[in-house]
Amino acid sequence: MGQFEIFRVGRIPVFMDFFFVILAVLWSRPYWSGGDTQAMSAGFVLVIGLFLSILLHELGHAWAGRYFGVGTSAIELNGLGGLCHFDRSLPASVVARTVIGLAGPFANLVLWLAFDAAGRMSAQSAAMIPAEVLLTLAWANKLLLIFNLLPAFPLDGGRVLEAWLAPLAGPAWSVRIVAVLGLAVAILLVTWAFPSGIFLMLLAVLLAIQNWQMLQSVGGFGKR
């Protein structure tokens, strides 16, 4: 779907596609559907918080890449969350690729703990709506952490696993292995989400498409 630039962080352009907007609205739908003004305000804050959480995740990759001498050409917010586009290939070092790959989930870990602590403090002071919003954002960052560590393309877990498999199995077979695992993850997500988890099923479809394309990019299971 179409992308549009929303702003720049330093010299890095940040793009958003319409899939991101659709999934953000679906995720916050319970807050919009009741007609309550306070709930709608909470839903708006949740969407902004989710946006910032994913942006900081991608900036984590960008900052780690910069540490290893790799610049970032763009950040994309899409249906699978986000993607950091580097301006050249990542270093061959498995350690460098691992650090760059895990920098994003680490950002979500920090945000999860921070939102959780702030939410508990708000609950103790009887500010229940802010507490609910903060605890929901903590839960969202926990899910982002877990989701991004799954062994699938283009998720961080898949990229890190590919980096560790490549020296053992070769570039093509490392992609094949992760892509097959990614297809299995997509099937499991659909099974878990069926029949009412529309948000999760959309994520699963996008994951399946990405991993099928990666499998075809190395010729399927043909020798190479």
What are the pLDDT digits (tens) for 171-219?
A: 999 999 999 999 999 999 999 877 767 778 888 998 999 999 999 998 8
pLDDT above 90 for 33: no
In angstroms and rounded to an integer, the radius of gyration of the C-alpha atoms of the chain is 18
Structure tokens at 41: 């305000």
CA atoms within 13 A on the CB side of 167: 8
For the full predicted model, state whether its pTM sits above 0.85: yes
Q: Where are the beta strands (DSSP E) in the chain?
A: 3-9, 12-17, 72-78, 81-86
Give backbone dihedrals phi and psi of 76, rounded to 5 degrees, phi first.
Answer: -120, 125
Rounded to whole angstroms, the Cα distance separating 19 from 196 reads 19
In one-letter notation, the amino acid at residue 34 is G
pLDDT, residue 23, reads 76
181: number of Cβ within 10 Å: 18
CB within 8 Å of 57: residues ≥ 6 apart: 81, 82, 104, 105, 107, 108, 144, 148
Closest CA to 189 of 9, 101, 44, 197: 197
pLDDT band of residue 223 (cuts 50, 70, 90) is: low
- Mean pLDDT, residues 88-100 taken together: 95
If one compares 203 and 98, the residue with the highest pLDDT of the two is 98
- Residue 220 gets the label, from left (phi > 0), alpha (psi -120 to 50) or beta, of left
